[in-house]
């Protein structure tokens, strides 16, 4: 039996998924309840979700963040209650979403990689400390990753089965991932490229596009109703662009009605980097203004702006610890170590994957690794167009870990099988064991998804696996991802985000302080006006705290705030 079809690998994957689910449940339901860490982005999400669950009138700030995370939170809050009990139910939802992500990774990689590679990718994703840690916060990473990988799996199924329902499911899941983390729309579009390029897959491609457009349209309608005029998926992309292209530590805006906002990125806060800037008579959601300010910084820098872009790319990795786990002692050290090891290994994983694709491509293999490389590379779009932060990168870790699993399988499973076959007295050294492995790993794949148990049964009868040409000529060797970059999600920096001295009370008035961070980064947490002696860089930084009319953004005492 060839190694690529060994059903024992399925048992390895299932065991990893089960153990990963147990680890996440212990973490998020017993050791680190998200309900006890509601601040910054999480606080904004929870407050908006509570208004949505109670069908209360929205406030202007509800359109600032993409609505996907609030919608997921609103479901248990509406069913159980907009109180602590509802948030405990939401913690269970977060645990389930985090636990099924490795399952989706397994089902997806089974379609594009060999069975050993898929199992190893599942093991790595199920045990990944950074993803487990994020389960303990009501942040957008957890639902965003789950729906993104689900979309990619269903899109690949639609390509193989030519199924309209799989295409529609991929579109709905991908669209919801995009309204949770807007940058994911590029990953969804890249996953749809094989459908678009094959003439026989026009109907599944149309169904996928319809699902994506439906989700995006619902998000636009929601935010437009909140704003009172046509709006996009979120209103924070302008500020994110400005923070990423200008040497800024914190941005403070004041309005004539006395409401003040202060935003800063977690990277700038942890490194105490950049200057504090104040804009009077400006709304924090004035995207046109902040885009113009960011473009002005680019024009002033000229060619030297390349340094900022390179710094943004570096900030995706080693410059700081991913937020918000960076706030929690013990968790910070584990996440920091995992982050360092991953970033140091990533160049070798990418280089090894490129070499693997080049070696297998002439024989019809390497398509899965090439797809994963394209998905992973899209993280650079966020760094170059907006800004860099390790939190932005963490959802894309699933693709890097899957590539690592493929390399391990190629080195220790396929190579070992080839060596064993060549040493067999009845098999010549030049027989095609490696070629068979290439066929399993490459573009000659099952014409439909076969359940692992069925596959095992077929193998036990020693019947050959049914395979079909997966349209190698049509499902190209080029990856196309030049669509427009979506708005990013801006977040606020919460308490204890760094250990450097605070900026100082002169930068931000105590009753109106709030630290924030940009789109795919940390969040903006509200603070009561009587908080003593806090500034934009304070280690107890929070988010939006209006100094005037508090009907919209003020943090009201709520049942979950029992810290």
For residue 75 the two structure tokens come to 């479901």
| pLDDT value of residue 36 | 96
Do 276 and 378 lie in a common domain? no
Do 220 and 335 lie in a common domain? yes
Lowest mean pLDDT among 237-241, 491-495, 526-530: 526-530
For residue 480 the two structure tokens come to 């196309």
Give the number of other Cβ atoms within 10 Å of residue 358's Cβ. Answer: 11
Do 239 and 332 lie in a common domain? no
**Cβ-contact 122, 128 below 8 angstroms:** no
How far, in Å, CA of 112 to CA of 401, rounded?
Answer: 14
Residue 475 has pLDDT above 50, yes or no: no
pLDDT band of 198, cuts 50, 70, 90: confident
How far, in Å, CA of 528 to CA of 295, rounded?
Answer: 34
pLDDT top residue among 273 and 434: 273
Residue 556 has pLDDT above 60, yes or no: no
Q: Which residues face 248 on adjacent strands?
A: 275
| pLDDT value of residue 340 | 97
CA 539 distance to own-chain centroid: 26
End position of a domain, from candidates 371, 406, 441: 406
Lowest mean pLDDT among 37-41, 101-105, 348-352: 37-41
Residue 157 has pLDDT above 50, yes or no: yes
pLDDT top residue among 519 and 490: 490
Chain mean pLDDT for the chain: 80
Residue 54 lies in a domain: yes
Instruction: Provide the number of structural domains found in the chain.
Output: 2
Report the run of H or E that residue 465 belongs to, with start and end: none
Do 185 and 293 lie in a common domain? no
pLDDT in tens, 425-465: 444 433 433 333 333 333 444 444 444 444 443 444 434 44
pLDDT in tens, 101-143: 999 999 999 999 999 999 999 999 999 999 999 999 999 999 9
* Helix (H/G/I), strand (E/B), else coil: 316: coil
pLDDT in tens, 205-237: 999 999 999 999 999 999 999 999 899 999 999
Residue 2 has pLDDT above 60, yes or no: no
Q: What percent of the chain has pLDDT over 70?
A: 72
Residue 2: closest CA among 454, 455, 471, 443: 455
pLDDT top residue among 196 and 517: 196
Residue 295 lies in a domain: yes
Give the domain extent around 73: 3-230+324-406
Residue 226 lies in a domain: yes
| pLDDT value of residue 243 | 96
End position of a domain, from candidates 406, 437, 468: 406
pLDDT in tens, 368-390: 999 999 999 999 999 999 999 99
For residue 236 the two structure tokens come to 């924070």
């Amino acid at each position: 039996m060839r190694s690529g079809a060994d059903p024992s690998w399925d048992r390895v994957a299932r065991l990893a998924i089960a153990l990963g689910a147990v680890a996440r449940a212990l973490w998020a339901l017993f050791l680190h309840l998200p309900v006890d860490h509601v601040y910054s982005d999480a606080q904004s999400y929870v407050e908006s979700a509570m208004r949505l669950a109670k069908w209360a009138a929205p406030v202007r700030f509800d359109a600032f963040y993409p609505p996907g995370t609030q919608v997921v939170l609103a479901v248990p809050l509406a069913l159980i209650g907009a109180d602590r009990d509802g948030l405990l139910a939401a913690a269970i939802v977060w645990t389930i979403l985090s636990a099924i992500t490795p399952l989706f990774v397994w089902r997806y990689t089974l379609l594009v990689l060999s069975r050993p590679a898929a199992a190893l990718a599942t093991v790595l994703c199920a045990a990944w400390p950074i993803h487990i840690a994020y389960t303990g916060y009501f942040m957008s990473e957890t639902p965003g990753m789950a729906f993104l990988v689900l979309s990619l799996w269903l899109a690949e199924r639609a390509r193989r089965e030519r199924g309209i329902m799989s295409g529609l499911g991929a579109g709905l899941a991908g669209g919801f991932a995009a309204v949770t983390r807007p940058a994911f729309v590029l990953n969804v579009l890249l996953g749809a490229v094989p459908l678009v390029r094959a003439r026989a897959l026009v109907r599944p491609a149309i169904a996928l596009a319809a699902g994506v457009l439906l989700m995006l349209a619902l998000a636009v309608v929601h935010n437009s109703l909140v704003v009172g005029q046509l709006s996009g998926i979120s209103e924070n992309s302008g500020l994110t662009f400005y923070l990423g292209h200008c040497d800024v530590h914190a941005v403070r805006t004041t309005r004539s009605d006395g409401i003040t906002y202060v935003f800063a990125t977690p990277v700038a806060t942890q490194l105490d980097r950049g200057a504090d800037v104040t804009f009077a008579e400006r709304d924090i959601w004035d995207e046109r203004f902040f885009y113009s300010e960011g473009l002005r910084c680019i024009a002033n820098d000229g060619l030297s702006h390349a340094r900022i872009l390179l710094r943004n790319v570096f900030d995706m990795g080693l410059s700081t610890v991913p937020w918000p786990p960076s706030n929690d002692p013990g968790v910070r050290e584990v996440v920091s170590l995992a982050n360092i090891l991953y970033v140091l290994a990533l160049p070798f994983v990418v280089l090894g994957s490129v070499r693997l694709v080049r070696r297998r491509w002439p024989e019809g293999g390497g398509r899965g690794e090439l797809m994963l490389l394209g998905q992973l590379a899209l993280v650079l779009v966020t760094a170059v167009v907006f800004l860099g932060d390790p939190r932005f990168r963490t959802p894309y870790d699933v693709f890097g870990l899957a590539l690592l699993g493929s390399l391990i399988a190629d080195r220790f499973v396929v190579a070992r099988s080839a060596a064993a076959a060549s040493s067999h007295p009845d098999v010549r050294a030049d027989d095609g064991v490696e070629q068979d492995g290439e066929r399993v790993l490459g573009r000659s794949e099952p014409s439909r998804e076969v359940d692992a148990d069925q596959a095992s049964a077929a193998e036990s009868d020693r019947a050959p696996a049914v395979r079909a040409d997966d349209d190698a000529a049509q499902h190209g060797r080029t990856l196309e991802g030049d669509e427009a970059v979506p708005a990013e999600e801006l977040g606020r920096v919460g308490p204890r985000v760094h250990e450097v001295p605070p900026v100082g009370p002169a930068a931000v008035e105590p009753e109106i302080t709030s630290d924030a961070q940009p789109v795919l980064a940390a969040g903006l947490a509200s603070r009561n006006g009587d908080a003593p002696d806090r500034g934009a860089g304070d280690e107890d930084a929070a988010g939006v705290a209006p100094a005037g009319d508090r009907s919209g953004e003020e943090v009201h005492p709520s049942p979950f705030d029992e810290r």
